[in-house]
Chain A
Amino acid sequence: MAVNPALQGRVFPPVPAYLVGREKIREFARAVLSDSPINFDLDAAHAAGYRDLVAPPTFPIVVQERTLAQLLAEPDAGIDFSRVVHGEQRFTYSRPIVAGDELTAALTVASIKSLGGHTMVTAVSEISDSAGLHVVTATSTLVVRGEES
């Protein structure tokens, strides 16, 4: 099975809205060993000027993952999940994510490149809020290892 080069440029429909919960932020923050009061304590978040708890910088992966699942499940994608390695990741914010945000995300396959028997798939997920405003762009490069390796 090889990655379908025609995937490049494909745009996926937005995933259903994800409501960011306060306890989910606390759970994720504990999981990445955060000790920032702004992730845990409402008073600290308010004092810093936020309307609710702020999510850790890598939290958008939770929302982005739903878009990546769409890509992997695409019938003609040819991406064998057991051969996928996470190569690169980037988050580019317009504003922080706070509890209460209702986020949606839409994935575009930005590029498909072959490199030494492997295929690099770069997927860009634009995450926006319920007003349709951009919140963060999450970009993943997945390395799909070739059959012989």
Chain B
Amino acid sequence: MTQTRTPISLGDEIPAVEFRLTRDTLVRYAGASGDFNPIHYRDDVASSVGLPGVLAHGMLTMGVAVQSTVRWIGDPGRILDYQTRFTRPVVVDPDSGATISVAGKVAQVDDESGTARVDLTVTYNGETVLGKAQVQVRLVSA
């Protein structure tokens, strides 16, 4: 197939996206991922271990956050590397849920290896919840 290259330049900003997580989202992710830790869907269990409420799975936040980059480059197969630290929990209210905001910026472009690094800023209630969230993408499609 023809090789297309998305023009990616240093400093490019990825359109900011908001994702709303509800208790339904958590249950769906539990089923899809196989992570049935009850702190992600039971208030009584969450409070019994001293948590402020039911939390989103870190891996759900990580998986959702990268979707903004996937949307931007148009192809999930061009993600070469993705890493993050889980720095703060996302508490998901039973009624109002939780809205996470994802912004991103191209922090590095390496023409030699044909890759770029996108740094994500993921916030909930104005606080960063993922640290060092970095996505390495391939500049050219397969």
Contact = CB atoms under 8 A, between A and B. Distances in A.
Interface string B3-40: 00000000000000001000001001101111100000
Interface string A66-106: 00000000000000001001111111110010000000000
Contacts of B19: 33
Chain A, interface size category, equals 35 or more
Contacts, number: 110
A57 B82 contact: yes
A82 B64 CA distance: 25
Q: Interface SS of chain A: helix, strand, loop or mixed?
A: mixed
28 contacts: A24-B32, A27-B31, A31-B28, A32-B32, A32-B60, A32-B64, A34-B70, A36-B67, A36-B75, A38-B77, A39-B76, A49-B1, A49-B141, A56-B66, A56-B76, A57-B82, A61-B33, A61-B59, A86-B59, A87-B85, A88-B86, A89-B58, A89-B59, A89-B62, A89-B83, A89-B86, A93-B81, A96-B76
Contacts of A48: 75, 77, 141-142
Interface string B85-97: 1100000000000
Nearest to B59: A61
Contact of B71 (A31, A35, A88, A91): A35
Interface of B: 1, 19, 25, 28-29, 31-35, 49, 58-60, 62-64, 66-67, 70-71, 74-77, 79-86, 135, 141-142
Given A24-B32, A48-B75, A87-B85, 20 more contacts: A31-B25, A31-B28, A32-B64, A35-B71, A38-B76, A38-B77, A48-B77, A49-B141, A54-B75, A56-B70, A58-B62, A61-B33, A61-B59, A65-B33, A86-B58, A88-B85, A89-B58, A89-B59, A89-B84, A96-B79
B61 to A, nearest CB: 10
A30 interface: yes
Contacts of A12: none
A121 interface: no
Interface of A: 24, 27-28, 30-36, 38-39, 48-50, 54-58, 61-62, 65, 82, 85-93, 96, 139
B32 A31 contact: yes
Nearest to B83: A90
A56 B77 CA distance: 8
A57 B31 CA distance: 18
Contacts of A93: 79-81
